[in-house]
Amino acid sequence: MNAFRKLLLAPLVMGVVSPLAGQAQSLDMGSVNRYQDQQYIDKMLAIEAQMGQVTGVSQFSDVQPTDWAYQALSNLVTKYGCVAGYPNGTFKGKQAMSRYEAAALLNACLDRVTEMTEQVKRLLKE
């Protein structure tokens, strides 16, 4: 009889537990979605940042002279002025970059180099 009661109660327990598990899962996914949304907003703000915002690599709070790409980043900032970083003063160099971010960075640098090239061409004509 004890096993029979367990068989009768199992659907009831599963019916009660199942919605709770679904709610826990949806709450967890909601947190993940909010985190992803915030990451997206941070990335878009970085892309929209003014290009003249950073004048030296030392302005990034998370970049150290011992970082392996310090010199390359320093050149992009000082020579070309095409790296703006994030609005909170970080570069987030240890974080993976999306293809959108890579395209935005490459586009900004190419635009800057093109401007410089056009300036040189005008000076040569004069």
User: Please, where are the H alpha helices in 49-75?
Assistant: 70-75
Q: What is the pLDDT of residue 16?
A: 47
Tokens 């160099």 correspond to 93
pTM above 0.95, yes or no: no
Tens of pLDDT, residue by residue over 69-85, are 999 999 999 888 888 88
Instruction: State the pLDDT confidence band at 51, using cuts at 50, 70 and 90.
Output: very low
* Confidence check: pLDDT of 64 > 80: yes
> Taking residues 30-50, what's their average pLDDT?
65
> Taking residues 79-99, what's their average pLDDT?
89
- Phi/psi of residue 29, nearest 5 degrees: -65, -35
Tell which residue, 118, 110, 42, has the closest CA to residue 82. 110
CA distances from residue 8 to 12, 21, 30, 78 in whole angstroms, order as listed? 8, 21, 34, 74
Instruction: State the pLDDT confidence band at 43, using cuts at 50, 70 and 90.
Output: low
Burial of 38-72, coded b for 16+ CB within 10 Å and e otherwise, reads eeeebbeebbebeeeebeebeebeebeeebeeeee
